[in-house]
Homo-oligomer: A and B are copies of this chain.
Amino acid sequence: MDHRLNRPLGANQVPRFGGPATMMRLPSQEDAHGLDACFVGVPFDIGTSNRPGARFGPRAIRAESSLLRPYNMATGAAPFDGLMVADIGDVPINPFNLAESIRIIETAYDDIMGHGCVPLTLGGDHTISVPILRAVSRRHGPVGLVHVDAHADVNDTMFGERLAHGTPFRRAVEEGLVAGKRVVQIGLRGTGYTAEEFDWPRSQGFRIVTAAECWYKSLGPLMAEVRDQLGAGPVHLSFDIDGLDPGCAPGTGTPEIGGLTASQGLEVIRGCRGLEIVGCDLVEVAPAYDHTGNTALLAANLLFEMLCVLPGVPYR
């Protein structure tokens, strides 16, 4: 192991219930300087239409991440043997002003991207994918997108507003942040405002994979197709925890029944290995509805799995 690389604080050094409350108890630093990847929090939830509370997502995910160990036993990934990773803290959003917060987030991510660092975002509600994708695409051009979610999030407006947690991927298309043919949305389900809600993303070239298409089976084959679809070129991975079933992820603001299992969530992320991942976000964890902390723990694990599929991670 390269001793110059950061490593999570070990459970035999300080017990899991102690130590710094950073992601995986990694060292923290002010910005992304010198990092291959960073964990970064966006404690923002004023784009939320139903149950709020995702503002506490980063804090809760970090707290539960203390249970994580540095090696991925299922895949052999050893991210800390190859990448320099730290927790760079939270973006200081303005809790009373959505537009201003979006601007603040965008600036913060421009800075991260400027360091050539891959951001692994602890959300926050899904609105934040817009400023994140703006910064990501400013550096990488329009990106491919692997999007796990119960909802397509392609509304034109909500209450007349163009930025809210149900609109990010409409904006991403309009602003050219994503390449429509290199987008897949996995886990869609539930009720809709119109019968035609999934037509628009399809018209943009998105592949839509509904939850019902996923039930009772491995998503390994799907992800092989996704890798073919997305091919070479930069990819962003946006994972809304409500893509998973409320049975395993109760702590979220807009739960929809009949979702993916946690194992399918793992397969989607593990199936991204080989793609050129340039950014990731995990959004919509609402701790006030997560009485055991297990949704935050699930999110922490998924963020670790995202780290494991970044380019450059060694496997053992």
Interface residues of A (CB under 8 A from B): 10-21, 28, 41, 43, 45-53, 55-56, 58-59, 62-63, 67-74, 76, 78, 89-98, 158-161, 163-164, 188-198, 210-212, 215-218, 245-248, 250-251, 254-259, 261-263, 265-266, 288-289, 291-294, 297-298, 301-302, 304, 316
Contact = CB atoms under 8 A, between A and B. Distances in A.
Given A193-B70, A245-B247, A292-B291, A93 B11 contact: no
- Which of A10, A51, A293, A298 has the largest count of B CB atoms less than 10 A from its CB? A51
A262 to B, nearest CB: 5
A17 B301 CA distance: 21
A15 B96 CA distance: 10
5 contacts: A21-B62, A73-B192, A212-B266, A247-B261, A250-B292
A78 B196 CA distance: 11
A71 B191 contact: yes
Given A41-B18, A288-B51, A158 B12 contact: yes
Nearest to A45: B52
A301 B68 CA distance: 30
B216 A245 contact: no
A220 B16 CA distance: 37
Contacts of A298: 246, 257
Contacts of A212: 74, 263, 266
A289 B159 CA distance: 27
8 A-B pairs with least C-beta separation: A21-B21, A18-B90, A247-B248, A195-B316, A69-B191, A18-B43, A288-B288, A52-B52
Given A74-B189, A258-B263, 4 more contacts: A14-B90, A15-B49, A73-B192, A248-B257
Contacts of A216: 216-218, 263
A294 to B, nearest CB: 5
A145 B63 CA distance: 34
A128 to B, nearest CB: 13
Given A89-B19, A294-B250, A11 B193 contact: yes
